[in-house]
Structure 1
Amino acid sequence: MSSEVSAARFVELIGRSGVVPAERLPRILAELGYEASSSSHWSARALADRLIERGLLTHFQAAKLLRGRWIGLVVGSYRVLAPLGRGGMGMVFLAQDQRTASDSAAAGEVGGVPPVWEGLVALKILPPHLARKEPRMQERFEREQRYYQRVQHPRVVRMLEAGEGQGIRYIALEFVPGRSLQELVSRWGRLEAERAIPLFAEVAEGLQHLHEQNLIHRDVKPANIMVTPQGSAKLLDLGLALATDEPPPQDIRIAGGKGYIVGTMDYIAPEQARHATAIDHRADLYALGCTLYFALTGTPPFPGGSKRDKIRWQRQAEPIFIRELNPVVPPALAELVHRLLAKDPAQRPASAWQVREELLALTQSMPSAVALPAWSAQETVELFDTDTVGTDWWEDASEPVSPTHPASTPNTGEWNGAPAIQPPPLPPHARQPSMPQSQSPLVWTLLVSLGLLLLAAVVILLRSL
């Protein structure tokens, strides 16, 4: 392509970026048969393809370098490999800890460079331009970092470290290989009860740990639950978490507040939709109920509609009974789900640990875990590695974003607006709470019918006279 750099420039940018150590680059190029004196015989694309084949570059890295972009491909001690996603508070990349991978390099890999699948982490980045334009984002980033420091539990993703490199703030998180519950259900269908029970017992265990650390997650949903190939659950993302042992920020744009909603509308608790910080741990239990409903039926309790619609439904509508959508769900499990979905927090289970105990009590023996095909770390990299453009977080967001990549759809996790005044139409899988008998549509229908019959009788009587 005419917009791509020359082979000589491509080699220069590799060295400047740090994705391949500059002192090892000549040896690698020599093994590929590349010589600077004959660089005109090479295209940058051909050289990139050779490096990708040997596992020395990812498609994402190569695409950036071919377009002349090199800043930000290494942040601190981490090589940025591929984008995992983007939200309102930063971007998350699959990255490689070069310190962890250095032992592999010393063992004799090609050119002394470790394969890209060694030492993987999930690297959350606060884009510098976003930090400059939106100071509240920096405050949110610092809050998330502090909250991760409280957490140490096998059912919650761990923070490995936080720091700053090249003026870029980052949080390095444990990378969890697997699929999100959202993807699991969307691709392979709803979970059987005997598989959902142990999975959600682990999620409840992770939530209990957060609550004991005085943290409310505030964004429990299928996309934030990872299922490993071994069938274990990990709770992700403390970006919207709230600490109950410290006062909320005065600026409601940081943590939300009355009139500034924070959360995901398909899974948000009614009280959180009213006032984002006037809640307790039971808001997470409601979201857990919505997520379990999704896992067992393949749909959230209130699908469709606008954000305003969803807020009103979460506050006032009752979801269709779960066994009407999936009759094989055990009655006791269905009853637990609907208790979790109680509009009044006092009617929900008292704690996440109680939810865990009730789930495990539903079966006499430990059920089978959610089985997923195993895959290697290399396949994990290849799963996410594309030549996607539009993820230049280290620059101002002036570059168009490709609409085909998941990372190109920002989800701020927040919505600032008043709820709809008029009731919206009901969602397909919901019903209004029971109305007083005087307001029942059936009563009105009968009254209208009787009135019409009476009118017809009067007309007939008058004609007979």
Structure 2
Amino acid sequence: MNIIGTTLGGRYLVIEQIGEGGMATVYKAKDQLLNRYVAVKILKHEFTQDDEFIKKFKRESIAAASLTHPNIVSIFDVGEQDNIYYIVMEYIHGQTLKDFIKKNGKLGYKRVLDITLQIAMALEHAHKNGVVHRDIKPHNIVITEEGTIKVTDFGIARASTVSTVTNTNKVLGSVHYLSPEQAKGGFSDHRTDIYSLGVVMYEMLTGKLPFDAESPISVAIKHIQDDFVEPIQIDSSIPKSVNDIVKKALEKDMFKRYQSAKQLIDDLNKVKENPDTLIDNFDETQSTRIIDVKDVDKALKKKSKRRFVKPIFITLSLFVLAFLIYYLYNNYFTVKDVEVPNLIGLTETEARAKLEPLKLKLEVEGKEYSDKPEGSIVKMYPEDGIKVKEGSTIRVKLSAGQKKVLVPDLKGLDILEAEILLKNNGLVRGNIDRKYSDTVDRNKIMDQDPKPNTEVIEGSEVSIVISDGKEEKFTKVPILLGRTIEEARASLTAANLVLGNITYGYDSKYIENVVISQDVAAGVTVKEGTIINIVINKKEVEQTQQEQQGNTNNQ
């Protein structure tokens, strides 16, 4: 059935198929009401023919929709249209953990601890809310582009238990991650998820599965009765503490396994801090065991007559049944839906005050730079207007204000070098001015605004001043004729000119010791610093010239 282009629920426009599993096909869709992309998971046709399954699917999906946690893919909506049963979920850019393992092979134990911890936190949240996944496997775990781990398919996984566990073809994709109690078809609870997570952890550490065989039935039997090769025997670099966590998670006896996700989280955190830490062994005295009814019967025979056993057993059964009904009623039938208010722009304190009357919790996931006031909420999830269960957690991000950077020193650089340096520091070049400089080479930066090491907002402009080199100034040559050497020197200095060679000659029109000639005429415009040569009037020069003339005539 081609549903591309179909609008589901009057708001979800199906755009393209992005994935397919054993039970459902996943599509990318546009939520036209909230103007955002979502993932829509549509049940395959063969499952829509099973009325019992559909009822369970609806019930479990609604329960899963109440889960709000950073490591759980959120469910926004559950619906039916023209015999199409669908779940609307958070759209995530990323890859499944299975694809990640296939691509990278076995992972380092530190990365494994980090991924396992995030999955365990998702399970802890779900288990506290009465939701058991029952199909934890790398295929149902997504790694976002930012590296966050998210567990998906809570509703569909639990609803599928009855329909798939007895069907060899359907169980094939999950049999490697089945707990022994699931493989037996017996009672299972939240500890089933812990076993499956142990298998996932084993696969991440070794790149292999703890049990494998040619047929699904053979694999299931191995889960029930075979021992696995410990991870540390495959890779000796794995710390013993990490190996022991896997062993404890993969205990075939539910009562020897981790009894809660919280216990597993505690051990994971201990090992992250100190890989040499010791993992506690199982202590039967610390666990509550289910005692066989026959054993109870035998014990009661020794203390009282047999006729009292049956009434006591009935009384206890009624008490357990009453407690179970009370628990289910309080946890599943009295939780109200509330509409998420708009928290954008509020401070953390203001947001908590707004959520408290609605019985909603606030979780700050961190901060990000923005142009909004520092400390104000800039993102929230779920978004305002979405209905959630009382007790749900609203995740928000706070503004860290606008990001600030230090202005680099651009002096002595050319324009290209400056632009590259500015870009690397998150800044852009601003205005360019040019000035003469006696100290900075031509076309090099001589000044900037803001000054170096000034803290400014990322993306700010930095204006620069570029040197045109030394300025060539001009002046007019003064009149030096008739002036003494000292007067000539002073006149030239005043005009930023330099007195050059001084020679002597004679001119009867001038008195002794004054300038009678200059090599650059007065009034001529020349560069400042030009050298001006002069001739000084001397009587002795005339006599010497006359003597030289006489000697020439005699010859």
TM-score bracket for the superposition, by shorter chain length: 0.5 to 0.7
Structure showing greater radius of gyration is 2
Give the 3 Å change call, closer, same or farther, for CA 70–360 of structure 1 in structure 2: closer
Indicate which of 73, 89, 95 corresponds to 1:157: 73
Question: Paired residue for 1:80?
Answer: 14
Give the 3 Å change call, closer, same or farther, for CA 259–352 of structure 1 in structure 2: same
Residue 240 of structure 1 deviates from its aligned partner by 4.9
After TM superposition, the score normalised by the length of structure 2 is 0.45
The amino acid of 2:129's aligned partner reads Q
Residue 165 of structure 1 deviates from its aligned partner by 4.1
Q: Secondary structure at the match of 1:100?
A: coil
Q: Secondary structure at the match of 1:299?
A: coil
Give the 3 Å change call, closer, same or farther, for CA 99–261 of structure 1 in structure 2: closer
The amino acid of 1:286's aligned partner reads Y
Indicate which of 121, 124, 146 corresponds to 2:41: 124
Give the 3 Å change call, closer, same or farther, for CA 142–283 of structure 1 in structure 2: same
Aligned positions of 1:308-457 closer than 5 A: 308-364=217-273
Question: Paired residue for 2:185?
Answer: 275
| Structure 2: distance between partners of 1:126 and 1:199 | 29
8 A Cα contact 1:155 1:206, kept in partner: yes
8 A Cα contact 2:135 2:158, kept in partner: no
The amino acid of 1:135's aligned partner reads D
Q: What residue ranges of structure 2 are gaps of 5+ in the alignment? A: 276-555
Task: Give deviations 1:402-427, integer Å, cap 9, x for gaps.
Answer: xxxxxxxxxxxxxxxxxxxxxxxxxx
Residues 1:219 and 2:135 are matched in the alignment:
yes
Task: Give deviations 1:167-192, integer Å, cap 9, x for gaps.
Answer: 53321101222111101010122111
Task: Give deviations 1:212-249, integer Å, cap 9, x for gaps.
Answer: 11221110111111111222211111245549xxxxx9
Question: Paired residue for 1:188?
Answer: 104
Give the 3 Å change call, closer, same or farther, for CA 353–257 of structure 1 in structure 2: farther
Residue 132 of structure 1 deviates from its aligned partner by 5.6
Task: Give deviations 1:72-95, integer Å, cap 9, x for gaps.
Answer: 533231222222333444322122
Question: Paired residue for 1:172?
Answer: 88
Q: Secondary structure at the match of 1:215?
A: coil
Residue 204 of structure 1 deviates from its aligned partner by 0.4
The amino acid of 1:274's aligned partner reads K
The amino acid of 1:74's aligned partner reads T
Q: Secondary structure at the match of 1:138?
A: helix
Q: Secondary structure at the match of 1:345?
A: coil
Q: CA RMSD in A?
A: 3.0
The amino acid of 2:180's aligned partner reads P
The amino acid of 1:126's aligned partner reads L
Q: Secondary structure at the match of 1:161?
A: strand
Question: Paired residue for 1:377?
Answer: none
| Structure 1: distance between partners of 2:48 and 2:133 | 27
Question: Paired residue for 2:123?
Answer: 207
Residues 1:307 and 2:216 are matched in the alignment:
yes
Residue 285 of structure 1 deviates from its aligned partner by 0.7
> Percent of aligned positions with the same letter in both sequences?
32
| Structure 1: distance between partners of 2:57 and 2:264 | 31
Give the 3 Å change call, closer, same or farther, for CA 150–71 of structure 1 in structure 2: closer
- In the alignment of these two chains, the number of paired residues is 273
8 A Cα contact 1:89 1:141, kept in partner: no
Question: Paired residue for 1:411?
Answer: none
- Which is strand-richer, 1 or 2? 2
Give the 3 Å change call, closer, same or farther, for CA 254–173 of structure 1 in structure 2: same
Q: What residue ranges of structure 1 are gaps of 5+ in the alignment? A: 1-63, 102-118, 244-248, 367-465
Residues 1:99 and 2:33 are matched in the alignment:
yes
Residue 157 of structure 1 deviates from its aligned partner by 1.1
Question: Paired residue for 1:235?
Answer: 151
State the structure with bigger RCO (CA 8 A, min sep 6), 1 or 2: 1
Give the 3 Å change call, closer, same or farther, for CA 363–307 of structure 1 in structure 2: same
The amino acid of 1:297's aligned partner reads T
The amino acid of 1:84's aligned partner reads I
Q: Secondary structure at the match of 2:16?
A: strand
Give the 3 Å change call, closer, same or farther, for CA 184–341 of structure 1 in structure 2: same
| Structure 1: distance between partners of 2:39 and 2:272 | 35
Give the 3 Å change call, closer, same or farther, for CA 217–318 of structure 1 in structure 2: same
8 A Cα contact 1:159 1:174, kept in partner: yes
| Structure 2: distance between partners of 1:308 and 1:299 | 19
Residue 342 of structure 1 deviates from its aligned partner by 0.9
| Structure 2: distance between partners of 1:359 and 1:132 | 41
Residue 314 of structure 1 deviates from its aligned partner by 0.4
Residue 265 of structure 1 deviates from its aligned partner by 0.7
| Structure 2: distance between partners of 1:98 and 1:298 | 42
Task: Give deviations 1:103-152, integer Å, cap 9, x for gaps.
Answer: xxxxxxxxxxxxxxxx221101235x546633344224313322223312
| Structure 1: distance between partners of 2:256 and 2:274 | 29
Q: Secondary structure at the match of 1:271?
A: helix
Q: Secondary structure at the match of 2:255?
A: helix
| Structure 2: distance between partners of 1:365 and 1:270 | 31
| Structure 1: distance between partners of 2:3 and 2:226 | 51
Question: Paired residue for 1:382?
Answer: none
| Structure 1: distance between partners of 2:143 and 2:125 | 18
After TM superposition, the score normalised by the length of structure 1 is 0.54
The amino acid of 1:215's aligned partner reads V
The amino acid of 1:313's aligned partner reads K
Which stretch of the first structure deviates more once superposed, 75-84 or 149-158?
Answer: 75-84
Task: Give deviations 1:324-366, integer Å, cap 9, x for gaps.
Answer: 2222111100111011111111111221111111111112289
Indicate which of 24, 29, 43 corresponds to 1:90: 24
The amino acid of 1:198's aligned partner reads D
